Structures are given as C-alpha cells and as structure tokens.
Amino acid sequence: MKRLAMEIALLGAAVYLGLVGLLYLGQRSLLYFPSTERPDMAAALPGRWISVTTSDGLRLHGWWIPPADDSRPVVLLFHGNAIHIGPRAAKVPAYLEAGWGVLLAEYRGYGGNPGLPYEEGLYRDGRAYMAFVIQEVNRDTGRIVLYGESLGSGVATQMALEHPGVRALILDAPFDSALAVARWRFPLVPFLELMFHDHYRNDLKIAQVDAPVFIGVGGKDTIIPPRFGRALYAAAVEPKALGAYAEAGHLDLQDHGFAQDTVAFVDGRFHP
C-alpha cells in the first residue's frame, strides 16, 4: 500500500514537473497571439502605411493618420497581445473627430511584420515608432499622447518613462505587471519571476512617469480583471484619473465612452 502511494505521488510529481516544463518552454506562445496577415486598414480608416526601422534592423509598418493641424495631439497606440492592428480601428474615431493624429503601431511578428515578439523587442519597436512621431510633431513631445491597450500598456508605459514631457499616458485595460497576471492564472506554479522572461513591470515604472495618466478598466473584464488596473492606478502619481466602466469587458472600453473620456482628460475637461 505504501509503495502504491509512493508510486502515485511520484507519478503526480512527474506530471506536475512536466506541465511546469511545458509552461516554461511555451510561455511566449501563451503571452503573444499574433496574426501574420497584414490587415486592410484603408477599408476602415483614412491614412497610409508608414515604415520604421528598429535598432536591431527590423523594418516594421504601422498605420498613420496625420492630425487636422499642427496644434493637435498625436496618439501613438500600442495594441494588445492578439491578432494585429486591424481590430483597433474601432478605438480611433473619437480621436479623429477631435482632430488628433493617430499612429497605430504594429509590432514585430504581427500583421505581416518580420521578427518574433518579446518584451525588449517590443520596446525596440516602440522606440522606432516614437522616433517617427517625434519627427512628425517637430520634436514637440508635448503633443504626443501614448496609448497602451492591455499588453500594450507595458510598451506605452516604457515609452512614457523614456520620454519625459509627453502630453499624456492612456492605458486601456492594463495590468500592473504581466508577472502578476501570470501568478493569478498559474497559482500552483512557484518561482514564476524566475521562469518567466517577459515581466512588463508597469508597477515599478509608472510612479516615475511625469505625464498625466488615465487608466480605464472594465467591470466585466475576465482577461485582465479590473483589480490589476486599479493596482496600477494606485501606483501612479498625480495628475491621474481612473475610468471605471461597469458594463465593459476587456476589448470594448471604447463602446462605453472611454475614448471620449480620454479626449476630455487630455483637454482638461474630464470630471469623473
């Protein structure tokens, strides 16, 4: 009987270690879900494709819509971990109506771009798109609004940290860290901070961001529950605002007034 119990325990341990090993080896396939097809952006939005080159030599494309005039802000939008920039066209109309410019940044490995996504790689992508926008606004970083959706909150927060003086940082269904989300999803796996390569520690960076911060969370978000965004909000410094949209999920904050609220926030008219 003892031998049987020992064999069962050893089998259970072997299965557990095997699953942990698979999690370690496949972690980036659990974090990034790219579509390699280039979306038809012209069918959804005005604008044109532009190209940027990263510090490690990748030529990437994004979708650029210039502002109505040289006084209006420009939004640099970093999307979440799934598909490509195509579905994010739905997040743009409110900014165009306000006369803002928008650059939808496409990552390496997404939407027909070369390369494979990983944390430092996406930061390199962000820097290349920042260089493009800085040139377009004649080096007036005070006109740049950084927008990060979900995983893109990590890229947007990093860019805000590296570029003091941007107009605002807008975070759409963000997390305080990808590591915190991983701990929530895999509570029985120890030492995740050692196993996981891509941590996206927004929580350690946002207090150093000098831009006004607007964070939006959806009350029905089951992918990144709102407590992660609220924790990030608590770590941010003033001026900051929290938009809590009780009926919103993870992907549809724009259907609940988020974009209009962010325009009002940047223009100094937001009153929660």
- Tell me the average pLDDT across 242-256: 98
pLDDT at 21 (0 to 100): 53
Tokens linked to 232: 């990030």
Phi-psi map region of 57: left, alpha, beta (phi>0 left; psi -120 to 50 alpha):
left
- Does the pLDDT value for residue 31 go beyond 90? no
pLDDT at 2 (0 to 100): 60
CATH topology of domain 32-266: Rossmann fold (3.40.50)
Domain coordinates in residue numbering, the chain: 32-266
- Does the pLDDT value for residue 23 go beyond 60? no
pLDDT at 15 (0 to 100): 42
- Does the pLDDT value for residue 11 go beyond 90? no
- Does the pLDDT value for residue 4 go beyond 80? no
Q: How confident is the model at residue 57 (pLDDT cuts 50, 70, 90)?
A: very high
Q: How do residues 107-126 score in pLDDT, each as one tens digit?
A: 999 999 999 999 999 999 99
3-class DSSP assignment, residue 104: strand
For β-strands 59-65 and 82-83, DSSP reports them as: unpaired
- Does the pLDDT value for residue 270 go beyond 90? no
Of the candidates 96, 255, 102, the one whose C-alpha atom is nearest the C-alpha of residue 172 is: 255
- What count of other Cβ atoms lies within 10 Å of the Cβ of residue 123? 18
Alpha helices in the chain (DSSP H): 2-25, 27-31, 93-97, 119-136, 152-162, 178-185, 192-195, 202-205, 226-235, 258-266
- Bridge partners of residue 48, in order along the sequence: 64
- Does the pLDDT value for residue 17 go beyond 50? no
Q: Is-contact 218 253, C-beta < 8 A?
A: yes
- Does the pLDDT value for residue 24 go beyond 60? no
Of the candidates 178, 170, 175, 189, the one whose C-alpha atom is nearest the C-alpha of residue 75 is: 170
pLDDT at 230 (0 to 100): 98
What is the percentage of the chain residues whose pLDDT exceeds 90?
80
Residue 245 burial (C-beta neighbours within 10 Å; 0-12, 13-18, 19+): buried
Q: How do residues 134-175 score in pLDDT, each as one tens digit?
A: 999 888 999 999 999 999 999 999 999 999 999 999 999 999
pLDDT at 130 (0 to 100): 98
Q: How confident is the model at residue 10 (pLDDT cuts 50, 70, 90)?
A: very low
Of the candidates 123, 121, 113, the one whose C-alpha atom is nearest the C-alpha of residue 155 is: 123
- Does the pLDDT value for residue 16 go beyond 50? no
Q: How do residues 172-228 score in pLDDT, each as one tens digit?
A: 999 999 999 988 988 867 767 777 889 999 999 999 999 999 999 999 999 999 999
pLDDT at 188 (0 to 100): 67
Q: CA-CA distance, 137 to 271, in Å (whole number)? A: 28
Q: In whole numbers, what is the pLDDT of the chain averaged over residues?
A: 90
pLDDT at 194 (0 to 100): 72
pLDDT at 22 (0 to 100): 43
